[in-house]
Every structure is written in C-alpha cells, then in structure tokens.
Amino acid sequence: MKEEKKELLEVHYGKEQLYNWHCGPYWSKFLAEIRDNEKIYGIKCPKCGRVYMPPRSVCGRCFTEMNEWVELGNEGVIDGFTVVKFPYINPSTGEMKNIPFTSVWIRLDGADTCLIHYLDEKDEEKIEVGMRVKAVFREDKKGDLYYDIKHFKIADRFKYD
C-alpha cells in the first residue's frame, strides 16, 4: 500500500492584546518617590519588623497591614546575580531581549528583601556576591522602575567614573 504523504500545518499568531496594570497606592508611591526624589522606599511590618521592598499593603507572613514607610539607601549589597546569555522574548513588549545582560539581586541598605535589577557589568568574572552596588538614575524620569533607575553600578568603581 502506498503511504499517504502527510502535510502538517502550523498557523502563526504574532500579536496579543495589550494590558494595563494597576499599581495601587503602595507601588504608586514607591515609583513616584524614585521618579521625583530619587529615593527608594520600603515598608515595615509592625508585627515581625521586616522591611519589604517593593512595598506592599500586607505582610504575607503576618497577614498584617503595613503603613510605616522606610527610606532605604540607594546602595546595597549583591545577594545573587546571573549574566543572561540566551535569547528570549520580553513578554511585556513582544521584542527580543538585548543579551547579554546582568540580572542582579540587591539587598538595599535597610531592606530585608531584594530588588531585582540590571547591573552594568556583564563579565561574570568581575562580579561577586557581597559586592556593594549603587543605583544610577536617569535625568528624565517617568515612573518606570527599569527606566528611571538605568542600572546599578559596582559602588567602589562608581567614584572613579
């Protein structure tokens, strides 16, 4: 019997719908303070004392409302990092990410949790867990965490730039 040749089709879709994400009062204040004053704020749980960054209304561990805003440093310590070298799509834009980039987990001075942001150093040999880093702000700002803070820089090199 002659085997029938199978044609297997693939249908491509490119565009998805757009989303509007609501920040709510806590994230709004957090982003506005960065935009207007170059200040990064956390929020303290009245029960366990943890300082959360980004701030949010409820401490998940204690299930307690939080209202005590704490100004954090614009510097902190690298908790962990990776230099991303594989290609993938940024799901928020539909565009390919620019690689390589360094994703760095920073415990800002005064915070108990980490901010995940860019580090401008892309050579893993030159980055170490425990290094101090400092935020680099843009002149023009628009309330976008990953625009207003351009990236972080290794702090002890910062003064030589």
Partner 1 sequence: MGNRVGIVGVGQTHHRSKRSDVNGQEIINEAVSRALAGAELTIEEIDAVVIGNMDHFEGINYVDMWSVDGSGGYMKPIMKVTTGGTTGSTVAAAGYYQAASGLFDTVLAIGWEKNSESDTSAAIATCANPILERETFAGAIGPLAAEYSMYMKKYGATEDDAHLAAVRDHNNGANNPYAHLRKRVTLDDVRNSPMLAYPIRLLDMCPRSDGACAVIYASENKARKITDTPAWVVTTTTRHDYTHFGDADWTIMQTLEEASKAAYKKAGIKDPLHEFDVMELYLPASSCAVKWMESLGVCERGEAPELIREGVTDMDGELPVNPSGGVICTNPIGATALIRVAEAALQIMGKADKRQVPDVEKALATGFGGCSWSDVMVLSSSKPR
The footprint of partner 1 (CB under 8 A) covers 6, 8, 10, 13, 16, 19, 21, 23, 27, 30-31, 52-54, 56, 60, 79-86, 88-92, 97, 101, 103-105, 113-118, 124, 128-130, 145-146
Choose between 70 and 114: whose C-beta lies nearer to partner 1: 114
Question: 153: which strand partners?
Answer: 134
Choose between 98 and 159: whose C-beta lies nearer to partner 1: 98
Residue 59 neighbours by CB distance under 10 Å: 19
* Nearest distance in Å: CB 87, partner 1: 9
Choose between 1 and 92: whose C-beta lies nearer to partner 1: 92
What residues contact residue 64 under an 8 Å CB cut-off, 6+ apart? 45, 46, 47, 58
Looking at residue 104, its amino acid is: V
* Nearest distance in Å: CB 105, partner 1: 6
What residues contact residue 138 under an 8 Å CB cut-off, 6+ apart? 147, 148, 149, 150
